[in-house]
Structure 1
Amino acid sequence: MFDAMPHQRSIGLARIAFDGGRLTQLDQSGSAKAMLPRCHGPHPEIVFLNTSGGLTSGDRLGFQVRLGDGQRATATTQTAERAYRADGPPADARVDLEIGQGARLDWLPQETILFDGAALTRQTTVNLRADSEYLGIEIIVLGRAAMGETVTRLRLLDRRTIRRDGRLLVMDPFRLDDAALARGHGQALLGGMRAVAVLVLVCKAASDALTPLREVLDEPGVNGAASARDGLLIARCMAPDAWPLRRQMLRLIEKLRPGALPRVWQNQE
């Protein structure tokens, strides 16, 4: 009898930094890649990619962005991330964003699709300085509706932590498991929806953006709400399918940031 061979795991880390108006770091290893496509805007556009094609048990993936004082950039992902069935420990994904004094980062990844039996732990950490700004989104989709897929088994822990000068602004954990999916039709959970999203804006004028944002929070088939307090705005949306939710999030992003959307988003509208 031969012992079963261990499965090969995907491990990747991509790090990129800008300071003084120039690229100061670009490191990439394993399945994680960072690209800087040519764009016509005044600020760089960063596109991350996981070349393994998805995440499964034991995989590790990390993306890091550091912006020096006064820098501006947009970071996104080339395509939707996918988490496949995992028979062992969960995949681990980490996003670390450092935003310097007077800098702004728009973190606009495309959606994460979770397949039946997926196991994923993800941590997004954002560290801001006193007057830096951040716009970030996250979209999670349970299976592909067009393929008739349903998700009944799942282990997901998705956490967002945002600090300004070390002071905690946002701690936002989102957890889904088999028991939660079984009760998913309750309004306190998913309400029967299969696509959910969160948007966070941190800047001095965040409260001023609340009314204009609510005016476009009306995509057919999408349930959404937004609230704001001094320097912080959060919107949450859910829908029975990914496409109306994606359209809603695009409209919210366009309301909150000047200039064109990242090219990878425009190509898939």
Structure 2
Amino acid sequence: MFDAPHPLSSLQRTRGRACVGLGAGARIMELSQEGAAKVFLPRSHGPWPEAVFLNTSGGLTGGDRLAYQVTLAEGARAVATTQTAERAYASAGGWAELEVALRLGPGAALDWLPQETILFNRSALRRRTVADLSADARLLICEMVVLGRAAMGEVLAELELRDWREVRRDGRPVLVEPLRLAAGSLAGGSALIGGARAFATVALIAPGAEDALAAVRAALGPTDGGDGVEAAASGWDGKCVVRLRAADALPLKRAVAKVLKAMRGRALPRVWQI
């Protein structure tokens, strides 16, 4: 006879941690990985080295735990991204958790540009991203969330997302963005996501970052986008923040690409597919 089903707590869970540390001149100071979390440094002809993170389990569900870390020493510059979209699948119990730690030394510059996170029905994801910057460090951070796959006709009725983004400069918080998304938010009005299936935040935190505002607004064009994308940008006190929402992932990602090009002045990471 077959054994009785194992209790939920005994099911196999994903565990993983990947860390990369770089010095000036793209010198590798740390490179470690364990479990389902991987990081590699593909050959790149761009001006900055690229670090690519990967979850080999193919997605996250309740009870999974992943952690990514990027550390840049004084004067180091890098781009960090993910190989593909992260997927949060239906949870049979508990939270899937993702921790991201970014640490930038004096004069360092990092573009943290993960690809989109796709939430499936009954998913439960808790994500925390914390960046610690030195006084003159520069950080460009992008987060995109997609509510199901429109092409598959998926309609989300139940989910939990608790997302925390915090950027600190010399230990002092300069940008703190908590987000909780639940079933009641999916049909919310314009103050919430207004029925959109995809939304994103792009933030540049750097001395003089507000000067990028004019170029970003020019890249976005009309706020309705003409393709179902709505966007707004603001700049103040060393920050330029852009928020976008759209009816589907592809138009959102194209609009985000325009924003990133205006802020960066160079091509997207090679692993991005648009």
| TM-score category, normalised to shorter length | over 0.9
Say which of 19, 26, 29 aligns to 2:23.
19
Deviation at 1:2, TM superposition (A): 2.9
3-state SS of paired residue (1:127): strand
Say which of 4, 21, 25 aligns to 1:2.
4
State the match for 1:223 in structure 2: 230
Separation (CA, whole Å) in 1 of partners of 2:267 and 2:160: 35
Please give the residue correspondences for 1:170-181 in structure 2 after superposition, counting only pairs within 5 Å.
Answer: 170-181=175-186
Deviation at 1:258, TM superposition (A): 2.9
Separation (CA, whole Å) in 1 of partners of 2:267 and 2:176: 30
* 1:33-55 C-alpha deviation (Å, 9 max, x unpaired): 00111111232100000000000
State the match for 2:75 in structure 1: 70
Separation (CA, whole Å) in 1 of partners of 2:175 and 2:253: 23
Structure 2 counterpart of 1:200, which letter? A
- What's the TM-score once normalised by structure 1's chain length? 0.96
Separation (CA, whole Å) in 1 of partners of 2:269 and 2:168: 26
State the match for 1:114 in structure 2: 119
Separation (CA, whole Å) in 2 of partners of 1:13 and 1:48: 10
Structure 1 counterpart of 2:20, which letter? I
| Alpha-carbon RMSD | 1.1
| Consecutive unaligned residues in structure 2, runs of 5 or more | none
Deviation at 1:189, TM superposition (A): 1.2
| Consecutive unaligned residues in structure 1, runs of 5 or more | none
State the match for 2:197 in structure 1: 194
* 1:20-76 C-alpha deviation (Å, 9 max, x unpaired): 431010000000000111111232100000000000000001110000000000000
3-state SS of paired residue (1:249): helix
Separation (CA, whole Å) in 1 of partners of 2:141 and 2:37: 20
Structure 2 counterpart of 1:155, which letter? E
Separation (CA, whole Å) in 2 of partners of 1:23 and 1:159: 29
* 1:206-257 C-alpha deviation (Å, 9 max, x unpaired): 1111011011223421001011102011110000100000000001001111
Structure 1 counterpart of 2:196, which letter? M
Please give the residue correspondences for 1:88-103 in structure 2 after superposition, counting only pairs within 5 Å.
Answer: 88-103=93-108
3-state SS of paired residue (1:216): helix
Structure 2 counterpart of 1:7, which letter? L
Separation (CA, whole Å) in 2 of partners of 1:155 and 1:63: 21
Contact 2:24 2:77 in 1 (8 A): no
The reply to whether residue 260 of structure 1 matches residue 262 of structure 2 is no
The reply to whether residue 246 of structure 1 matches residue 253 of structure 2 is yes
State the match for 2:157 in structure 1: 152
Separation (CA, whole Å) in 2 of partners of 1:186 and 1:19: 46
Deviation at 1:261, TM superposition (A): 1.3
State the match for 2:207 in structure 1: 204
- What's the TM-score once normalised by structure 2's chain length? 0.94
The reply to whether residue 127 of structure 1 matches residue 129 of structure 2 is no
Separation (CA, whole Å) in 1 of partners of 2:143 and 2:151: 21
3-state SS of paired residue (2:51): strand
State the match for 2:241 in structure 1: 234
Separation (CA, whole Å) in 2 of partners of 1:144 and 1:41: 32
Separation (CA, whole Å) in 2 of partners of 1:203 and 1:180: 32
* 1:163-190 C-alpha deviation (Å, 9 max, x unpaired): 0000110110111112222xx2411111
Identity, in percent, stands at 51
Contact 2:18 2:39 in 1 (8 A): yes
Q: How many residues align?
A: 265
